[in-house]
């Protein structure tokens, strides 16, 4: 066993690091936390290694040569002495162990520990925080943004989230009271389950649940708590291209820990929302016959009748290569902002803000061009083509050149300026 002492002026970090080492590696280290350099008592000190934070000024000449000196740093690691503070706790442990192994002092006497008087912080249930969220699109990327005041943020957790690629957790950026998560090309778990409700899809869904549990169990290694995971299926996102599920971690400080009952209630709530979503989606399978009976389902009821909203009979007429039988299920797009469903019942199907020349009008969005883009049916599927729009067209975050055709797959995201749609074939 190695006898080590640690001095870091960030008390929250110091306490979490020591707690992790004591819980998981007590057989390797006898640990003492120091309040300052005077506490080391250099005359009778017999530690194997001393570890200092960046904010501690140290003269290595003051310490015996047989004592290893290490630095827990936020800066670039320049040698084995320097250990990045915000990597995995397991990696920090292995680096500390290696440094101790380089210089072993036998028959040593432990440093005198400083008694830590922990003052419990006032803890608040996470649901008592008012987290305002929004989805924002900028420069072809889509983000989920949570508004969190500076005084509510756990800064240590933010540094862990930004400094590590934690499997199953969003890479996080916090700035100007905004927690920013990139969701370009992804869909929420709620939407994914609606679109993938077969016996074959069940296996993939179970894998995603297993991945989420693995993620929750791995957080302690990064000084993070599973209690701060947002287990809301509308906030959990699936990246089908990379076959992974990502959970938002909300770095609030002083959040009251959850017991087993509360944890099970959250999991039950997550499953209930997913089940309700499947039941609701089953009521909205659209066919040409449905459109003839209820044409208002496909268009914004706030729009005035114009050339895009003629009689249901006229809307149901196929054009060009989009000929379909009366009972064929047609593809449709879902407008993310309003959850409106628009059936693609002709080719080309024109999208823009000029009601006189498009099939679906977005006159409530000035960022969209008059004739922004078309959805075109070809023998091998459906394509989106940009019509020279001012604010561009994107498929899964990738910009289209003017008059470029990009094939649409089930579940992909179409973006016209800052207006996002999901394309659905099923």
The domain that contains 404 carries what CATH number? 2.60.200.20
Q: Report the 10 Å Cβ neighbour count for 372.
A: 26
Average pLDDT of the chain, as a whole number: 78
Give residue 279's pLDDT band: very low, low, confident or very high (50, 70, 90). low
Q: Which of 40, 41, 48 is nearest to 69 (CA)?
A: 48
- Residues 94 and 23 grouped into a single domain: yes
Residue 276, pLDDT above cutoff 80: no
- Residues 265 and 299 grouped into a single domain: no
Give residue 206's pLDDT band: very low, low, confident or very high (50, 70, 90). very high
**Strand 49-53 relative to strand 360-361: parallel, antiparallel, unpaired?**
unpaired
What mean pLDDT comes out for the span 319-329?
50
- What's residue 145's pLDDT? 92
Using a cut of 0.85, tell me whether the model's pTM lies above it. Answer: no
- Residues 323 and 236 grouped into a single domain: no
- What's residue 35's pLDDT? 59
Q: Which of 265-269, 281-285, 380-384 has the highest mean pLDDT?
A: 380-384
Residues 6 or more apart whose CB falls under 8 angstroms from that of 67 comprise: 45, 47, 48, 49, 50, 103, 105
Structural domain that includes position 90: 2-102
- Residues 343 and 265 grouped into a single domain: no
Specify the number of domains making up the chain.
3
Residue 418, pLDDT above cutoff 50: yes
For position 246, which CATH number holds? 1.10.510
Run of H or E residues at 246? strand 244-246
- Residues 141 and 259 grouped into a single domain: yes
What would the pLDDT profile of 148-201 be if each residue is shown by its tens digit? 988 888 888 888 888 788 899 998 889 898 999 999 999 999 989 988 888 888
**Strand 68-73 relative to strand 49-53: parallel, antiparallel, unpaired?**
parallel
- What's residue 241's pLDDT? 87
Give the span between the Cα atoms of 190 and 234, in whole angstroms. Answer: 5
Residue 408 covered by a domain: yes
More confident residue, 93 or 280: 93
**Strand 82-84 relative to strand 68-73: parallel, antiparallel, unpaired?**
parallel
What would the pLDDT profile of 301-317 be if each residue is shown by its tens digit? 333 334 444 443 344 44
Residue 418 covered by a domain: yes
Residue with tokens 């099923």: 426
Run of H or E residues at 276? helix 260-281
More confident residue, 104 or 76: 76
Find out whether 374 and 385 touch, Cβ atoms under 8 Å.
yes
């Amino acid at each position: 066993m190695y006898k080590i002492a640690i001095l870091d002026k960030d008390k929250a970090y110091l306490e979490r690091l020591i707690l992790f080492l004591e819980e998981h590696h007590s057989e390797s280290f006898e640990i003492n936390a120091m309040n300052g350099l005077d506490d080391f008592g250099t005359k009778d000190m017999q530690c194997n290694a001393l570890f200092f934070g960046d904010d501690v000024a140290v003269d290595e000449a003051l310490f015996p040569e047989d004592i290893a000196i290490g630095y827990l740093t936020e800066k670039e690691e320049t040698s084995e002495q320097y250990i990045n503070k915000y990597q995995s706790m397991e990696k920090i442990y292995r680096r500390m162990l290696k440094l101790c192994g380089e210089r072993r002092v036998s028959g040593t006497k432990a440093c005198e520990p400083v008694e830590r008087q922990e003052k419990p912080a006032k803890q608040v249930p996470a649901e008592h925080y008012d987290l305002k969220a929004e989805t924002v699109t900028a420069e072809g990327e889509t983000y989920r943004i949570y508004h969190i005041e500076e005084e509510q943020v756990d800064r240590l957790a933010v540094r862990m989230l930004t400094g590590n690629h934690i499997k199953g957790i969003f890479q996080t950026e916090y700035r100007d009271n905004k927690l920013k998560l990139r969701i370009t090309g992804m869909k929420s778990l709620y939407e994914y389950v609606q679109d993938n409700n077969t016996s074959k899809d069940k296996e993939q869904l179970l894998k995603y649940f297993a991945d989420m549990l693995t993620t929750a169990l791995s957080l302690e290694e990064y000084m993070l708590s599973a209690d701060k995971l947002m287990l809301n299926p509308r906030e959990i996102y699936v990246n089908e291209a990379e076959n992974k599920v990502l959970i938002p971690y909300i770095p609030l400080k002083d959040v009251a820990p959850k017991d087993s009952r509360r944890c099970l209630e959250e999991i039950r709530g997550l499953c209930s929302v997913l089940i309700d979503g499947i039941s609701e989606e089953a009521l909205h399978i659209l066919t040409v016959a449905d459109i003839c009976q209820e044409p208002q389902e496909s268009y914004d009821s706030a729009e005035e009748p114009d050339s895009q909203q003629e009689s249901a009979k006229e809307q149901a007429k196929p054009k060009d290569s989009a000929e379909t039988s009366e009972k064929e299920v047609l593809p449709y797009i879902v407008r993310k902002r309003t959850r409106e469903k628009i059936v693609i019942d002709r080719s080309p199907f024109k999208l823009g803000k000029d009601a006189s020349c498009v099939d679906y009008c977005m006159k409530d969005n000035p960022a969209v061009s008059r004739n922004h883009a078309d959805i075109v049916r070809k023998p091998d599927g459906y394509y989106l083509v940009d019509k020279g729009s001012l604010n561009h067209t994107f498929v899964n975050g990738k910009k289209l050149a003017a008059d470029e055709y990009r094939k649409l797959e089930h579940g992909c995201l179409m973006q016209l300026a800052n207006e996002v749609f999901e394309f659905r074939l099923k």
